[in-house]
Amino acid sequence: MMKALVFIFLFCSFTASAQEDSLHIYVPRHFSPWDCDGGTPDGFHVFTDMEYKNYHLILFNRWGEVMFETTDQDAYWEPKDEKGEYLDDAVYVWQITYTKSTDLDFDGVLEFTEEKIKGHTYCLN
């Protein structure tokens, strides 16, 4: 949700600011690779209700190896090894980098800042 506050005075300039009230990204604390609902495999999936600029997700194992990396907000990861077998229960660290608009100046130009959030998730087989 974006809020904008605009003050307009006759013969004066005006300013407008836009501020994002809350982050619209949900990362599950745990996930399972198994198909629980008869549809597609569940796997690890980040849920968003907004389109972020320069979205980048990296998922690491406990040794710091990159297990999954994407710039697609709709992508999901099935925790499988090179042979196609599911990995054991484990903790994975994730990092999401994205760009958000932070301010709107008099000329209508948006300023952007890069944000980074981190956390961890559990794979439960």
pTM of the model: 0.69
Domain tally, the chain: 1
Q: Is residue 82 part of a domain?
A: yes
Q: Is residue 93 part of a domain?
A: yes
What is the domain extent for residue 74?
Answer: 23-123
Query: How far apart, in whole angstroms, are the C-alpha atoms of residue 81 and residue 74?
Result: 22
For residue range 57-99, list pLDDT tens digits in order: 999 999 999 999 999 998 988 888 889 888 888 999 999 999 8
pLDDT of residue 84: 86
Q: Is residue 40 part of a domain?
A: yes
Q: Is residue 5 part of a domain?
A: no
Identify the CA nearest to 95 among candidates 69, 59, 45.
59
* CB-facing half-sphere around the CA of 88: CA atoms within 13 A: 1
Query: How far apart, in whole angstroms, are the C-alpha atoms of residue 16 and residue 80?
Result: 49
